[in-house]
A and B are shown apart, each in its own frame.
Chain A
């Protein structure tokens, strides 16, 4: 592994951590918020629902050892 690869891996582990699905979920939730807001609908409710679901799923995966 080169130093660049090692650095990128360290950044990935630092930012994303041990649950990449949650990171993807956060990105998708922000994109959905932007999409809903762009069509003129109130979009503040998207993030609370998404965070609730992401936290529950993350805990469920961890509890099952997945």
Chain B
């Protein structure tokens, strides 16, 4: 396995782990308070929908000319990566609330209890919430699988890395029988943001006609370089946050809006 392929597999695995942990929390909440069979049915339907999306878009993306593919994929990975890393830096710096899976679980469970009476058979609420939760969390992973995989013509490897992450998270969730609150989500998002930006920058520039010094080996400098910059920015944000006057009156934001998207 080449370095680029290892980077592909690692990026997809980490991204999928983060999203799977978040989806697991939602499924656990509605499954335990409403109906396990309906919640699991929603998970199955969402995974099927994601597989159809990957199967439909994969060949279309891989048929693009390589330079066009690299510019498009590089640009999209950069846009995604900059969002992931910005949020991770703000969380590391204390300007954004970190994910708390236990709190999110309690919120989801409370909403599920207040969503009306449970039916004895199929529970539409549990199915819908599970379906939407897994689909929304999974779309980003599907996107990363497609873009990373298509650019290196290794969609199968990317899909396998995503599948492995799902299996690991489900196994951990089944063993813990609780939300995976101890998974260092912010650190994982930080790492994924660094990888998305590094590969996005590399492929985007190549597709636009630039040649990196050293070719593929340039990634060995790009990834650590982006990591160092990101850590430096986190420390700067943390210092500014602690000193106060630099960012006056900045409230700590939460992911409530993101959660609200998932709710029916």
Q: Which residues in A have some Cβ–Cβ distance to B below 8 Å? A: 14-19, 22-23, 26-27, 29-31, 33-34, 36-38, 42-44, 46-48, 51-52, 54-56, 58-59, 62-65
A43 proximity list for chain B (CB < 8 A): 205, 208-210
Number of A-B contacts (CB under 8 A): 102
Q: Does the CB pair A15–B79 fall under 8 Å?
A: yes
Q: Does the CB pair B139–A14 fall under 8 Å?
A: yes
A17 proximity list for chain B (CB < 8 A): 79-80, 83
Q: Does the CB pair A30–B86 fall under 8 Å?
A: no
Q: Which residue of A lies closest to B201 (CB)?
A: A47
Q: Mark B94-124, 1 if CB is under 8 A from A, else 0.
A: 0110000000000000000000000000000
Q: Which residues in B have some Cβ–Cβ distance to A below 8 Å? A: 71, 74-76, 78-80, 82-83, 85-86, 89-90, 95-96, 139, 197, 201, 204-205, 207-213, 218, 222, 225-226, 229-230, 233, 237, 240-241, 247, 249-251
Apart from A31-B208, A36-B210, what 17 extra A-B contacts exist at CB < 8 Å? A15-B76, A19-B83, A26-B79, A26-B204, A30-B208, A33-B205, A34-B208, A46-B210, A47-B205, A47-B210, A51-B226, A59-B233, A62-B90, A63-B90, A63-B250, A64-B250, A65-B251
Contacts A22-B83, A62-B95; is A44 near B205 (CB within 8 Å)?
yes
A34 proximity list for chain B (CB < 8 A): 71, 208-209
B211 proximity list for chain A (CB < 8 A): 42, 44
In the bound complex, CA of A30 to CA of B70 (Å): 11
Q: Does the CB pair B209–A33 fall under 8 Å?
A: yes
In the bound complex, CA of A38 to CA of B85 (Å): 31
A29 proximity list for chain B (CB < 8 A): 204
B209 proximity list for chain A (CB < 8 A): 33-34, 37-38, 43
Q: Does the CB pair A33–B208 fall under 8 Å?
A: yes
Set A23, A42, A62: member contacting B210, Cβ < 8 A = A42
B76 proximity list for chain A (CB < 8 A): 15
| 12 residue pairs A–B, Cβ–Cβ below 8 Å | A19-B82, A26-B75, A26-B204, A33-B204, A33-B210, A42-B211, A44-B205, A44-B211, A48-B222, A55-B229, A64-B247, A65-B249
